Amino acid sequence: MAELVAILGVPHNPLLWRPMRDPMPEDLQRTSANFAAFRQALSEARPDVLVVVASDHARAFSHVNSPAFCIGKAPHFVCTYENEIRTFGLDGWEVPGDTELAGWLLGGLELAGGFDFAMSNEWLLDHAFAIPLVYLTDLDVPVVPIHANAAIPPLPPARRFADLGTYLAEAIKAAPFDKRVALVTSGHLATEVGGPKQFLGGDSPDQEFDDHAVAWMRDGDLEAAVAGCTLERLLAAGNVTAQYLNFITALAAAGGRPASFAEGTPSRYAAGPFFRWDISA
């Protein structure tokens, strides 16, 4: 039987990559420290595999073909794209996959568990996956990436992200093999790219949303999070804020329990989300 040993939610802001290094700028010290603490917590959980729930940014899944949820079932994955290397200065990284767990979550000949995943055997991961992996690991722990569409309308509603978390927790627990599994989610608080509120120099595009969004995780209020994350409200908070929905998946996977750590970390960018549920082994 597999075991869920850690649940994390972190930012994947690729603009961190160039400036967040020594000598550490003062405004990024807290973000860097949070990543370090989460990396330590993840290491202490000794995961055999990471399930990473994040949202591709119209790179692997564009308007030509846009699944709501897709599981990557490949023996290894490569990050990232030529334009992300150009724009964000990211490097090309490789991580091993875990076809056994991916196959279990998907099903064999028939989709498992009533959750209609798409499947990919060859998938170049973008920064939504690369940033968490490079800050939280040495890129040596096998990964099962799950794309949750929070970029290309129509998006799944918040309830489906909660359903995904519930499904993952149950499916991992029911797996017929012994593995220690960590769930890593990535996303945003209120954030805008390409809209009128982008790059406000550290001010949140929507502080009221951020306050609620952190509180829902801190208090373990899954139903309030689902109710508060209508697509209309998310878009009003910023046009990529829907990637917060991945944290609803984390909260649901934690059984709706309050997060052990919940913070919107300020910096020169929109606040960075850090959520962690400690699970004693």
Partner 1 sequence: MSTFEIDKFALYVEASDEQVRSYAADPEAYVARWEQRGLASRVPVADGGTLTMEERQALATGDYAELYRLGAHPYVLWHFVEAVFVWAGDVSWPEMTERYRTAITPHGRPDFST
Where do contacts with partner 1 occur on this chain (CB under 8 A)? 57-58, 62-64, 81-83, 86-87, 151-154, 192-196, 198-199, 235, 239-240
- Distance from C-alpha of 226 to C-alpha of 13, rounded to nearest angstrom: 23
Q: Which is nearer to partner 1, 151 or 168 (CB)?
A: 151
Q: How far is the CB of 59 from partner 1 (least distance, A)?
A: 8
Cβ neighbours of 273 (radius 10 Å)? 30
Helix 99-106 to helix 158-173 angle (10° resolution) is 120
All residues at 6 or more sequence positions from 76 whose CB lies less than 8 Å from its CB, including other chains: 94, 95, 96, 97
Query: Of 99 and 198, which CB lies nearer to partner 1 in the complex structure?
Result: 198
How far is the C-alpha of 118 from the C-alpha of 147, rounded, in Å?
A: 9
Beta carbon of residue 151, minimum distance to partner 1 (angstroms, whole number): 7
CA distances from 75 to 14, 20, 241, 273 (A): 25, 31, 31, 30
CB of 231 to partner 1, least distance (A): 10
Closest distance to partner 1 from the beta carbon of 65 (Å): 11
- Rounded to 10 degrees, the C-alpha dihedral 127/15/132/216 comes to -110
**Which residue's CB is nearer to partner 1, number 58 or number 279?**
58
Radius of gyration, alpha carbons of the chain: 17
Q: Which is nearer to partner 1, 123 or 277 (CB)?
A: 123
**Contact assessment for residue 80 and residue 127, using Cβ atoms and an 8 Å cutoff:** yes
CB of 195 to partner 1, least distance (A): 5
Q: Which is nearer to partner 1, 177 or 199 (CB)?
A: 199
Decide whether 108 or 196 has the Cβ nearer to partner 1.
196
Shortest Cβ 87–partner 1 spacing (Å): 6
Q: Report the 10 Å Cβ neighbour count for 72.
A: 24
